[in-house]
Structure 1
Amino acid sequence: MGLFINIVCVYLATIGFGLLVNLPKRALNVSGIVSVSGWLVYFYINTYISGYIFANLFGTFTVGILSIFASRYKKMPVIIFNIPALVPLVPGGQAYQVMKSLATGNFILAKSNLIQVVFIAGAIASGFLFSEFLNQLYIRWRVNLANKKSSEK
């Protein structure tokens, strides 16, 4: 039951953020589905396989790939699906802990939390980078295949 509540909360948080940034209405539901899919990958990897860094990497990779598919399906820019779907993966709690630790003078804990935030941000950036790299490889492969077919005729 707890997993179902988390899924609903992730979906609603994504829809709410999409409404805040004036996402087109026809992109809200798909953006929520992309977000839930990325969060489920994050949750599974973080819980059963590895830690939060690889979980963020693969969760963001999933968001990136599904955003590409969603953008082709809806004929809209990829960023419309990327940004709201990223909301559940952003390390807001750790960033808050960094600021809280700095304010209370606990610099060792602040440094530890800051390192976590930097690694998570790097994993998020890498996940998007890998998904876009895979997309570009696919596009080049499709263009080369079309060129070979046209040159054979």
Structure 2
Amino acid sequence: MMKQIVLAFFGSIFPVILFNIDRKKIIWTGFCGVFGWITYLMVYKYTVSPVSASFAGSFIVGVYSELMARKLKTPAVQFSIPGIFPLVPGITAYNTINYIVEQNYSAAYSKGMQTVAVAGAIAFGIMLSSTTFRFISKLVRAKKLQQ
């Protein structure tokens, strides 16, 4: 498990270099991927569902990204995009294509649907965390204006 966490850290750091994000944020984006992956592992252990585990992991990535964006005064995307890299269903997509090449269409359909479901769960988790943060921020601002 520790090996997976270290790989998630590096898996979140390398996109920072690829996308030319400010180098001062490298460590923080690594932690973003680590928190998302730890959440994924914990949820997967109890649900055995890659879709729900990916949703939970991406939601935590989104929350962490929003918090760090406010703390470091930078866009949340600089943390969320590298943070979701460990959660992306790359091997599942590869298996889908491999089954198509082997003309095993029932297995390809199954893996393809899983790939789409996990990708949708990741997108929904990020969107929900971002929307929740914006909603809470509006409530806090409105409360400050009333005082």
Q: 1:44 pairs with 42, 54, 67, which one?
A: 42
Provide the aligned length of Structure 1 versus Structure 2. Answer: 147
Is the deviation greater in 7-16 or in 59-68? 7-16
Alignment of 1:1-153 (within 5 A): 3-149=1-147
Counterpart AA for 1:123: A
Return the alpha-carbon distance in structure 1 between the equivalents of residues 28 and 143 of structure 2.
30
Q: Deviation at 1:27?
A: 1.1
Matched residue SS, 2:27: helix
Matched residue SS, 1:23: coil
- For structure 2, the residue ranges without an aligned partner over 5 or more in a row are none
Return the alpha-carbon distance in structure 1 between the equivalents of residues 116 and 67 of structure 2.
29
Q: RMSD between aligned alpha carbons?
A: 1.0
Q: Deviation at 1:48?
A: 2.4
TM-score (norm 2): 0.96
Return the alpha-carbon distance in structure 2 between the equivalents of residues 47 and 93 of structure 1.
19
Contact 2:11/2:33 (<8 A) preserved: no
Q: Deviation at 1:66?
A: 0.3
Report percent identity of matched pairs. 29
Cα-to-partner distance string for 1:100-143 (whole Å, 9 max, x where unaligned):
11111111111000100111011111101210121121111111
TM-score (norm 1): 0.92
Contact 2:29/2:82 (<8 A) preserved: yes
Return the alpha-carbon distance in structure 2 between the equivalents of residues 108 and 83 of structure 1.
32
Higher-Rg structure is 1
